[in-house]
Chain A
């Protein structure tokens, strides 16, 4: 009898132990992630204005979402953000891969080069924005002056204003600053790569391109998709560089989701509407993250790794 009566208590205590051990993590997640998310979701159904704290309780139902769904400028910014993401991530991947392959070949001074490669990431995005704003200034900027001095350009090119060039300049700045994220992760992949398949391929008569295409690249793809997942979340929130360089203009030509959301939320103080926009824009991040994770799992399967 005594054994029977004691056993359930011991079992119960053991059952609680994992939960107790995990509870600090859960509490942190609840208060740092879940509560703010729920709060901002709630505000998206209100007329919440930053400068009127009492407006937090003005429930307006789906009005913010209705405005967004009928706002062509929002959807234009949404589409522009997808283009921005796609171009920036692909360019960063291509340049990062090239840099990683080149640095991997170096036998002397590799550490120094790796450190130098990280320099752009060490700058604040605001500083990078100002740097490129000055470089691309049409009248007193470095680039146009250089082009004119070399006799290449016959006019001042409005880098930050022209329709395709405006997007090009902000993608250029973003790529300049963050390509090293790809490079460093892909370099780590190259360092971890086993030598046996490469040597076996060479013995079997594969040329360099075939080795790269069929062995090196598939092995690196899981690293690339991890980098893309991280960077897609980062780029989807692009704000500082764009705000400094073009402010989303002119005439909304470079307006991305977050420059628009920041203007609505802070300059116009309509935080409820901005949060509704943010929730719609999260769909974009979820879609990209889901896509890259699917590709990551497929790449790992291809390499015989775990799912």
Chain B
């Protein structure tokens, strides 16, 4: 099938969706691919799996079948894709992707502008599409987005004794923090180690690099200058790392925090032993579910704090789907990822708190929660909508990003633990990052 006809097919499909608004997928023509088997590699995990339950519907509608070759977490999937590139075995069509990972894959994924119509793409948020574009090519179709805001235990802030004691000690009112400095004060105030902590942070891998990066930007710094020289060892960088270190030294965060990743922080907050937790919206429904969480009904939410540079932190990205250049049926692949990212299917993920990438779904899910009287989830989506619109920014969309990150985070840990001075650690990381950028041809 020619690209133009594929584009016409998918855009025709999408036109009918947007023309009729609430048209369900069953009434929707995703094309016919009778007897074809679409080979895919998808991200796995509890928060991603519910969407895959609808794949059988796409199979029924199109006559195709889907062979899921891999269902792994993103880091394992990343390794597998790199092995496929090296071995020349890109014999599959659709792969899960992420805005942070996509730039390193070079040209293995096709420009979706060639197979998905402008009218379909018009349904997506322009920022999500811009972040999915690498070197002018739309190599990913955004599935859901990710930015962090601050969850907190309401009862702590409403407690009159806490309010009085905090005002006496810090000289200002105890209200959910507006700045990173206030966040630190309150975290130290609430901490009562080893049974209760003021906050926590993800402490390793790209996770802590990302947190450092967003705080660096909020404090007025930058990872690189315009010529790609590393600049994160600036005063803003030192100020950012100092925040992590102060909390660690004050035992305001759990002692093992430098080994924490997202599951640890999410489950920790749900256990009721953490006062404030900067996290993505994907945990929201879990936090407020009495079956799983000790803090259900006691959760407040505010936007991420403002740094000394006057900006809010807003490290963001999107989970996405891509189609390989070597795909033997890109029409079927385009139909499949259009189906998975349709408004109806984005609602499945949005109901769990994952942030949709189609503007319409934001309105629909807020209306649905409002009708159900779920004020908490309405607040979640309204808060995250503002962050996505005003605060969100991605890491540099460059191929060596993960490699640069791998040079930064061990030094951040060393600085937080006191094994290195903060400036020394950042200088060493900047030198290592410079070498990476030189090797990659940026310098």
Contacts and interface: CB of A to CB of B under 8 A. Distances in A.
Given A50-B86, A156-B254, A249-B204, A139 B259 contact: no
B402 A51 contact: no
Interface in B198-221: 200, 203-205
Contacts of A24: none
A140 interface: yes
Nearest to B261: A247
A270 B85 CA distance: 13
Interface residues of B, number: 42
Contacts of B148: none
Query: Considering the complex of A and B, which 6 residue pairs feature the smallest CB-CB distances, nearest first?
Result: A138-B256, A156-B194, A158-B255, A250-B258, A251-B414, A250-B413
Contacts of B411: 251
Nearest to B417: A251
Nearest to A155: B194
Interface stretch (B32-40, B45-53, B263-271, B297-305): B263-271
Contacts of B259: 133, 160-161, 245-247, 249-250
A263 B267 CA distance: 27
14 contacts: A50-B86, A52-B106, A161-B256, A162-B255, A249-B204, A250-B203, A250-B417, A251-B411, A251-B414, A251-B419, A266-B82, A267-B75, A268-B403, A269-B104
Contacts of B256: 137-139, 156, 158-161
A261 interface: no
A277 B271 CA distance: 42
Contacts of A249: 204, 258-259, 409-410, 413
Interface string B65-98: 0000000000100110011011010000000000
A268 B406 contact: yes
A156 B255 contact: yes
Interface of A: 50-53, 133, 137-140, 144, 148, 153-162, 245-247, 249-252, 263, 266-271
A51 B85 CA distance: 6
A133 B264 CA distance: 10
Interface string B355-377: 00000000000000000000000
Pick from A148, A161, A245 the residue with the most CB of B within 10 Å.
A161
A160 B417 CA distance: 13
B105 interface: yes
Contacts of A155: 193-194, 255
Contacts of B341: none
Pick from B86, B197, B204 the residue with the most CB of A within 10 Å.
B86
Nearest to A144: B194
A133 B256 CA distance: 11
B268 A140 contact: yes
Given A161-B256, A247-B205, A268-B402, A137 B413 contact: no
Contact of B406 (A52, A140, A250, A263): A263
Given A52-B106, A251-B410, A251-B414, A267 B194 contact: no
